[in-house]
Amino acid sequence: MVVGARMAVLARGGAKAQAETQRMVSEKMSAMVELQTAMMSGAFGSEPVPAMRKAVALYSGKVGRNRRRLG
């Protein structure tokens, strides 16, 4: 849903598309650093399944905010 909404913004071009592109790249980099920091610090624990669930939850919140913003 978010990918489709973002593609619609990008397809229109212009200043909004440029701002959305910058936001998208910035969000992805920030989320990657946040995830790596949590994993390296042991915040997700050592068990694979709970760690994966925590990682997915981290991204789910970010995707949900984008869905509401773009919706």
What is the number of structural domains in the chain? 1
Distance set, CA 68 to CA 2, 7, 10, 59, 63 (Å): 9, 15, 17, 14, 9
Domain that holds residue 21: 2-70
- The pTM assigned to this predicted structure is 0.78
Query: Residues 1-49: pLDDT tens digits?
Result: 999 999 999 999 999 999 999 999 999 999 999 999 999 999 999 999 9
CA dist., res. 49 & res. 55, Å (int):
10
